[in-house]
Structure 1
Amino acid sequence: MRGAFGAVGLVAVLVGGAAGQEAVTFKQYPYKVGDKTRTTKTEDTTGGTTINAMGKEQKTKEKKKKTLVYVTEVLEVGADAGKPAKLKRTYEKAVEERNGVETTLSLDGKTVTIERKEEKYTFTADGAALDAAATAELDREFTKKGNLGDNLFPEKGVKPGDSWDLTEKFLKEMDTPDNPFVIAPKGAAVTGKLLSTTKKGPTTFGDLEVTADLPLTDLRGKLPLKLNPGSGWKIAMKGTGCLDGTSPEGNSTATMTIALEGATMGVGVKIDTQVKMSSRTNRVSGGKQ
């Protein structure tokens, strides 16, 4: 199950160090039967597309916001306590607002059973399979590559002020047909940094920053697009989460800026998109030891 730092990034080489402070080694929270958390996620997207064909320019703009609020309960743990084998998730809210018009999504009000078998997940509500849109939403979170979860830290301990290179593993994780962007390895840079640590009772929380600057060469999809030099994808994420494995709580915010320009079949295409995301998970009740 994705935890506090469920945005982007994985681990590679540790560099630098802040002298005089104790290094922290990240530990995944081991979920227990009966654990309950409430998560609120928002995703704001503002985008503009310009199409130039036969000397005529057509511009379109879109603004949308998706909000999900759900309570997740662990029913079975399984071999990997960081990825429980069976969950029950109740969606208190699942809505999307597009250009000022709000639509209730099919997950709204549903209680979904999520079961893990090896690396595959199934999603059902009242014993029946979910519709395609709901299944795709949960697939992106639990099954598909491109969601790197809590694997943001090096295996070695880090101190506040330490940075580490995430580029190699990020590129490996994002090299999937599910990702519409083809990233140019040359010039790509993804960096993680531990900003600070805080003790709250017995728990150590950490503030983390991840930044990415990714040049793009192609856009995948129904109408593939060869991109001009200068097309790119930038990510800036900050999050706070438990570092010592004693709490599932945490929050994060992220901004993604995507600027693409290219041509296909004599038609010029320019896309500018900004996505702002937030996620907050709080404990509702603890599980059985």
Structure 2
Amino acid sequence: MVTTKFEVASTLAELSQDTENLFEEKPTSLTPEEEEKEAEREDVAVLALIRLSQTHPKQHNKRMKADESQLHNKRMKADEIQPREAIIAGQAVKRQRERRKQDNSEETLRIMVEWNEIKPEKPPFVRDLNAVGVCSEPVRKQLTKSDVLNDQCRLMLGKKEVKKMMLHVLGHSGRVGTNGIEVLVHGPDGEVHTMVFKMWADTPVLAGVGWKKFVGGYGLEMNSDFLTIWMFKHSETQQICFAIDVTRFPVQYPLSSTIKAALQN
């Protein structure tokens, strides 16, 4: 390709006006003709820079160092003043990665299956077992992060499991509603706690300050603590009650769908 002095001079003039264009990404929606012209322009610019460096090596070196310094300063500034949206996006990606971590080890499967096979009909730690009237079958739940958060104050229960519990204890006419009903919850040491059993966004929960104290009092932890939950009606007062036992296992992440399916069989 032959370039005239005029083309070199005009190209250098354009480069001196906006050197930052060399570092910008080119549009990806150019037509073939535009791409060809753009490539030809870049060839002319490169040739002009080569000739300039051969003619004035000291000036070229100074210019290159200045450009490199300018680019470095811009990168440093971009790192120091990171947009808030980028920070939020990074945090979201990190949370998603954490949520995707699951425990699917054979050892955990073995432990869970053995533990799941032992289900007493009635909570053995309730101090007055004679007070346990109509009682549901126990359900199992691995504590999640939201269950133990200080600002949540609720234990989220499975819809299908609780529906069976309510049908067995309350009958077909049993209703809870969004306002809920006051219930007594027996802890693993036999202590009784007052909570509210209600529907929260179509999901049954045990809520209130009572659950918050329950978490703190027994030092409950997400993932590693597993609950065994009964629902029953007091034989004398007809008060709706729950009983919750806690078992801790060396589990760091939520159980995989494979282990959960094995526990349901």
TM-score, with length taken from structure 1: 0.26
Higher share of residues assigned strand: 1
Q: TM-score, normalised by structure 2?
A: 0.27
